[in-house]
Structure 1
């Protein structure tokens, strides 16, 4: 795994995919943008990933990653209720393949984020 991509994905999952108290809009990008009248600001939980970077990661995971990699990323970073064995069973692969796909996803995400910056 790529450490800085891992950190960004953890913050992305926390910013956009964590359960938040009703009315705060912190768990939903659309609600958060409505709450701030469309202004992109730093995450409400002291996140080091800016909301536009979280939006870029969301777009990459949803649209640009192959389905097998997208499923692994969502399971690994957004599913806190399952054991590791349940996660790779859900993904339909072995533990070794699960981590290889996660690494491949990190490489894809890093490449796509670099392409955006270039």
Structure 2
């Protein structure tokens, strides 16, 4: 895993996909928030819980650009803390080694996309 990407994904999951991001704001889902506000993302609605720009970038990358197998592993790893690891592997349809290889591949892809956006 890439430590910097791991940290960004933890923040992404906390801000947009956790119980803390709920509260009448479409559960923190960027697309749902935009639907609620007629296509506009109004960041000020969340007061002090405004998502970081990097979280919004990662949401876009995971939902639109990441391969479905890799996106599934990312969501399982960062958003589903209630399940044991064997259940996560089963939900992803792979074993332990493949799970972590996909997670690493996802980190590489996300890093590449973020670097591409910064340039």
TM-score normalised by L of structure 1: 0.81
Corresponding position of 2:42: 38
Q: Number of aligned residue pairs: give it.
A: 111
Measure the CA separation in 1 of the matches of 2:15 and 2:21: 13
**Deviates further, 5-14 or 21-30:** 21-30
Find out whether 1:62 has 2:63 as its counterpart.
yes
Q: Note the C-alpha offset of 1:22.
A: 6.1
Find out whether 1:20 has 2:24 as its counterpart.
no
Gaps of 5+ in 2: none
Alignment of 1:1-118 (within 5 A): 1-20=1-20, 23=23, 25=25, 27-28=27-28, 29=30, 30=33, 38-39=42-43, 44=49, 51-118=52-119
Contact 1:5 1:106 in 2 (8 A): yes
C-alpha RMSD of the superposition: 2.7
Q: Note the C-alpha offset of 1:81.
A: 1.1
Give the 4+ runs in structure 1 shifted more than 3 A: 21-27, 39-43
Contact 1:69 1:104 in 2 (8 A): yes
Instruction: Label 1:62 to 1:21 Cα distance change in 2 as closer, same or farther (>3 A).
Output: closer
Name the structure where helix makes up a greater proportion of residues: 2
Gaps of 5+ in 1: none
* Deviation readout 1:52-111 (Å, 9 max, x if unpaired): 211110010011011110000000000011101110111011100000000000000000
